[in-house]
């Protein structure tokens, strides 16, 4: 592709993107497809000869786009959002065009220094003290893996990377059953093993860890010759928004010298609003905190903000410095590849810089406050309907509900959810509260309006009544 074609197709792609976003409400949120339909339209063998861009682009529009779930749809109420504010998309165009590999300061000085600045902006925005430093990870899963690796190394006196785990006392990590499955995966990948992830029961309306049970479990493990290493606490758990009592968890951890990692992947963005910070009171005592600006702040995926009280422990755990990765003759630099599991790093800071400057904290706060208010209003409207029940009350913009029936409630609500999603106007997902299958709602798409929440109410109620 020569420079003229590159200019032509870059402009066409940008125009297509603008049209797509402008007309996205006209599309069903999730496609009505059977598995394999898209794959059947793709040739089984790669082309030997290059094809013209016109044909490739036409196939993209005809075969790929109709088979996509539209995560930027304002009525995407399933999972958590993977937002891409338009200004963030513009920044990503520039990142893609430059295609820099930002693993070291010397491989892109501006990328490194901008990352330092915008992470400090975020630190200030969510109210963390100056003692924390930040790094952008690809996802909260990677940040949590990094935290678990630090827990392991501290517990093994920094010998785990060299000696491995076999033959020593078992390393133990503690969390409730409300944490994200990325914690399970971090335990697997770190070599600690799922049998050493100790599940602590939850209590109260926020389904936080029973702190007395946490301390009792640590004592039992110490008496049994195990090595307690750390605690993964959550603020705004994925299923129903569970929030641990961070201050109480930190107090227990300090008594036993354990590392505390707070997973606030979704809810952390809401902490730019001071009134929501009670949900993670005591977070300043944690050792590391993660939240995803790509979930609720509008930064295009992938972009995860990982804050550390003592980055030296992370660098000690992850840094490898062969000669070809050393920067000679420069002092006071940061090589962020030493703060993450992957060596390669995209220029993720640019989209944050564009996003925060364009919208300002006030604009982002207004968006989040609106989402919370609209979600809570929807919960109140459903609660007022005699055939609906709010199962878990809203935590920020997340709640769960079910439709009452005289038959099998789980089967009935799964069928209702399927019917809602097949309708195409909104997209929801299910979760479990105890043995109950319930329907989960969260508001968070960047361009959502109050009318979209009202549409959600209409679709939910209409679909349920049709099935009576």
Q: Tens of pLDDT along 49-77?
A: 999 999 999 999 999 999 999 999 999 99
Task: Map residue 432 onto helix, strand or coil.
Answer: strand
Segment among 122-131, 296-305, 328-337 with least mean pLDDT: 328-337
What pLDDT score does 329 carry? 47
In this model, does residue 202 exceed pLDDT 60? yes
Task: Name the DSSP class of 235.
Answer: B
Mean pLDDT across 421-443: 93
What pLDDT score does 243 carry? 96
In this model, does residue 322 exceed pLDDT 60? no
> Residue 121, Cα to own-chain centre: how many angstroms?
19
In this model, does residue 426 exceed pLDDT 50? yes
What pLDDT score does 468 carry? 59
What pLDDT score does 330 carry? 54
Considering only CA atoms, give the Rg of the chain: 24
Give the domains, in start order, of the chain with CATH numbers: 18-87+359-468 (3.90.1150.170), 101-346 (3.40.640.10)
Mean pLDDT across 334-345: 83
* Pairwise CA distance, residues 119 & 345, whole Å: 15
CB of 236 closer than 8 Å to CB of 396: yes
Q: Which residues have C-beta within 8 Å of that of residue 388, sequence separation ≥ 6?
A: 382, 401, 402, 403, 404, 461, 464
Give the residue among 302, 348, 339, 334 at the shortest CA–CA distance from 317: 339
Task: Map residue 389 onto helix, strand or coil.
Answer: strand
79-122 pLDDT, tens digit each: 888 889 999 999 999 888 877 887 777 778 888 889 999 999 99
What pLDDT score does 376 carry? 96
**pLDDT level of residue 327 (50, 70, 90 thresholds):** low
**pLDDT level of residue 8 (50, 70, 90 thresholds):** very high
In this model, does residue 328 exceed pLDDT 60? no
In this model, does residue 244 exceed pLDDT 70? yes
**pLDDT level of residue 161 (50, 70, 90 thresholds):** confident
CB of 254 closer than 8 Å to CB of 224: no
Mean pLDDT across 334-363: 89
* Pairwise CA distance, residues 447 & 27, whole Å: 15
CB of 3 closer than 8 Å to CB of 9: no
pLDDT top residue among 97 and 234 = 234
Mean pLDDT across 197-219: 94
**pLDDT level of residue 160 (50, 70, 90 thresholds):** confident
For the chain, the average pLDDT equals 91
What pLDDT score does 242 carry? 92
In this model, does residue 201 exceed pLDDT 90? yes
Segment among 105-114, 174-183, 187-196 with least mean pLDDT: 105-114
Report the share of the chain in percent with pLDDT over 70.
97
What pLDDT score does 57 carry? 93
Mean pLDDT across 209-222: 96
137-152 pLDDT, tens digit each: 998 889 999 999 999 9
What pLDDT score does 101 carry? 82
Mean pLDDT across 247-252: 97
Mean pLDDT across 158-167: 83
Mean pLDDT across 223-252: 94
Report the share of the chain in percent with pLDDT over 90.
70
Is the N-terminal amide bond of 302 cis, ω within 30° of 0?
yes
Helices and strands counted in the chain (H then E): 15, 13
Global confidence as pTM:
0.90
């Amino acid at each position: 592709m020569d420079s003229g074609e590159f200019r032509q197709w870059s402009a066409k792609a940008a125009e297509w993107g603008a049209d797509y976003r402008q007309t996205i409400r006209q599309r069903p949120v999730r496609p009505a497809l059977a598995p394999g339909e898209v794959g059947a339209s793709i040739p089984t063998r790669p082309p030997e000869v290059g094809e013209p861009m016109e044909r490739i682009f036409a196939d993209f529009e005809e075969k790929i786009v109709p088979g996509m779930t539209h995560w930027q749809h304002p009525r995407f109420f399933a999972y958590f959002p993977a937002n891409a504010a338009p200004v963030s998309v513009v920044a990503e165009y520039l990142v893609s065009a430059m295609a820099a590999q930002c693993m070291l300061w010397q491989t892109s000085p501006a990328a490194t220094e901008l990352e330092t600045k915008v992470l400090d902006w975020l630190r200030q925005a969510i109210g963390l003290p100056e003692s924390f430093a930040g790094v952008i990870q690809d996802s909260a899963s990677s940040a949590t893996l990094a935290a678990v690796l630090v827990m392991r190394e501290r517990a093994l006196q920094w010998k785990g990377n060299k000696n491995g785990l076999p033959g020593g006392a078992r390393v133990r990590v503690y969390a409730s059953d409300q944490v994200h499955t990325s914690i399970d995966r971090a335990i697997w990948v770190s070599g600690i093993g799922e049998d050493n992830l100790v599940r602590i029961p939850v209590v109260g309306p926020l389904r936080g860890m029973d702190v007395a049970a946490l301390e009792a479990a640590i004592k039992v493990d110490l008496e049994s010759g195990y090595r307690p290493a750390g605690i993964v606490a959550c603020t705004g758990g994925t299923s129903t928004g569970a929030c641990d009592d961070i201050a109480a968890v930190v107090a227990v951890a300090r008594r036993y010298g354990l590392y505390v990692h707070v997973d606030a992947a979704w809810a952390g963005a809401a902490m730019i609003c001071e009134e929501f910070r009670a949900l993670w009171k005591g977070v300043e005592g944690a050792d590391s905190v993660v939240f995803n600006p790509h979930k609720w702040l509008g930064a295009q995926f992938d972009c995860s903000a990982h804050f550390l009280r003592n980055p030296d422990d992370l660098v000690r755990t992850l840094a490898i410095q062969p000669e070809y990765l050393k920067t000679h003759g420069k002092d006071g630099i940061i090589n962020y590849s030493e703060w993450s599991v992957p060596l390669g790093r995209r220029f993720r800071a640019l989209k944050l810089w564009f996003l925060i400057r364009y919208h300002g904290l006030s604009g982002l706060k207004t968006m989040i406050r609106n989402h919370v208010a609209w979600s809570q209003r929807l919960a109140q409207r459903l609660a007022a309907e005699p055939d609906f029940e709010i199962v878990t009350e809203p935590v920020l913009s997340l709640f769960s509900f079910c439709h009452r029936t005289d038959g099998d409630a789980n089967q009935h609500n799964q069928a209702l959810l399927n019917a809602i999603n097949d309708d195409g106007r909104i997209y929801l997902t299910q979760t479990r509260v105890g043995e109950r299958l319930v329907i989960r709602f969260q508001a968070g798409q960047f361009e959502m309006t109050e009318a979209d929440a009202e549409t959600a109410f209409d679709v939910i109620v209409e679909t349920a009544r049709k099935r009576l």
